[in-house]
Amino acid sequence: MITRTAIRAAAAATVVLAAPALAQELDLPRQKIELVAPPFVHPHEQKALHGPRIMEFLLTPEEKQIVIDDEGTKLRAMTFNGSIPGPMMVVHEGDYVEVTLVNPETNSMPHNIDFHSATGASGGGDLTLIYPGEQVVLRWKATRTGVFVYHCIPGGVGPMVPWHIASGMSGAVMVLPRDGLKDAGGKALHYDRLYYVGEQDFYVPRDAKGKFKTYDTHADAFVDTRDVMRKLIPTHVVFNGRVGALTGQNAMTARVGETVLIVHSQADRDSRPHLVGGHGDYVWETGKFSNPPETNLETWFIRGGSAGAALYTFLQPGVYAYVNHNMIEAFELGATAHFRVEGTWNNDLMAQIRAPESIRAKASLR
């Protein structure tokens, strides 16, 4: 009886102590954010209009089979909230990020989350490993500004970390300075649109005839996939989960004169984003807003395991390819997106003086 009473008392004490402690520590307003699938980002303020808040997010790992190219190649994917990349979360410096991670019973594997923007315990990975049917709540303080990767990192349950990441489990967090973005001289920078491009390398096994294989379950796919991964040559390098996810009717849009912030993340490999026909007016290549942005870049480098941000004001209408400027990866493996930009052409910036014609034509000898 004594023992039981003691336990009950201890339990009660813990509850009683814990609740006020949390409340005292964080006597802050809460804001619940509905995440949206990339390349779009949930509504947010660029300059914080209020003091720090507790920003609440719900992330749900989802294991599923997806099609990753026009040939119908199927991948046993792992996702946050069903999308590759996972949704982008925007907060301000000094905010608290409170993430509820829910692993549905329909999944087959444990998952967790490592926020590069968080401090301690493997970015939260050590505190969030949950099995199907479980959920966990993690809170971390946004102390550093910039764009950061988050990803699954299910360490202690076998050699699974790279497989989960290479199957789609990464996303990005943007921690904005409370007074917004600035150039090197302290001048405020503003964006009219924000797009989040998550670059993803896939490693799909092939059969003896060279055709991509399909698997009944994720576990069935593991050994073969790991063999392909170990050779470090992806079969696909794509933006937003599949070849052509951001082209054609799904192309990103803008108007001449609008300023667009493009956040680009890659959790595995290095990349080199380039806007064909445009530039990076202001680029935080390493993605951290406490460093001054570089200006007028042609191509910028995204280190594997990081995110970067590029700000550009469109000056001409037309179609801009946004590529990984390893063009082999862009054209052969899929790392191409498009911007469709409306507006009026500026003949001063560029004009076709004569259309292509025979070099023998007199007209060309002006």
Partner 1 sequence: MRWFCRLCLPIGHSCSAGDMLLSSSIMLVAATMLVLVVIFALTFGHASPPAALRPPVPDLVKLQAGTFRHRAAGEFSREGKPVTAPIVTAAIKRTLAVMRHQVTAADYQRCVDAEVCPVVDRGGAVPNLPIVKVSWRDARAYASWLSRETGEHFRLPTDEEWAYAAGSWFQDDALPETLDVGDPGQRALAIYDREASRQERLDQAPHPVGSFGANENGLLDFAGNVWEWTDTCYARSAVDARGGVTATMVNCGVRVVEGRHRTYIADFIRDARAGGCSIGTPPSNLGFRLVRDDDPRHAQRPLSAWVRRLVGLQT
Binding site for partner 1 (CB under 8 A): 69-72, 209-210, 236, 243-244, 247-249, 251, 316-319, 321, 323, 330-336, 338, 340-345, 347, 350, 352-358, 360-361, 363
Known catalytic residue at 190: no
What are the two backbone dihedrals, phi and then psi, of residue 2, each rounded to the nearest 5 degrees? -60, -45
22 dihedral zone (left: phi>0; alpha: psi -120 to 50; beta): alpha
Whether 274 contacts 323, CB under 8 Å? yes
**Of 78, 89, 109, 152, which one is the catalytic site residue?**
152
Angstrom CA distances, 344 to 169, 252, 262, 314, 338, stand at: 40, 18, 22, 11, 19
**Of 214, 259, 299, 313, which one is the catalytic site residue?**
299
Known catalytic residue at 92: no
Known catalytic residue at 114: yes
**Of 88, 89, 169, 229, which one is the catalytic site residue?**
169
Q: Smaller CB distance to partner 1: residue 164 or 325?
A: 325
**Of 92, 164, 264, 338, which one is the catalytic site residue?**
164
Cβ of residue 352: shortest distance to partner 1, in angstroms? 6
Q: Smaller CB distance to partner 1: residue 99 or 323?
A: 323
Known catalytic residue at 5: no
Q: Smaller CB distance to partner 1: residue 1 or 355?
A: 355
Known catalytic residue at 274: yes
**CA-to-CA distance for 151 and 86, rounded, in angstroms?**
9
Cβ of residue 73: shortest distance to partner 1, in angstroms? 10
Cβ of residue 207: shortest distance to partner 1, in angstroms? 12
Instruction: For residue 290, give the 3-state DSSP assignment.
Output: coil
Whether 160 contacts 132, CB under 8 Å? no
Cα angle value 68/71/73 (rounded, 5°): 45
Known catalytic residue at 111: yes
User: Which residues on neighbouring strands pair with residue 142, listed in sequence order?
Assistant: none
Known catalytic residue at 151: yes
Residue 151, Cβ neighbours under 10 Å: how many?
26
Q: Smaller CB distance to partner 1: residue 250 or 286?
A: 250
Known catalytic residue at 62: no
Q: Smaller CB distance to partner 1: residue 223 or 353?
A: 353
Known catalytic residue at 285: no
At 182, which helix (H) or strand (E)?
A: strand 181-182
Cβ of residue 319: shortest distance to partner 1, in angstroms? 5
Whether 112 contacts 128, CB under 8 Å? yes
**Of 111, 236, 264, 338, which one is the catalytic site residue?**
111
Name 326's Cβ contacts closer than 8 Å, sequence gap at least 6.
271, 272, 335
Active site residues: 111, 114, 116, 151-152, 164, 169, 274, 298-299, 325
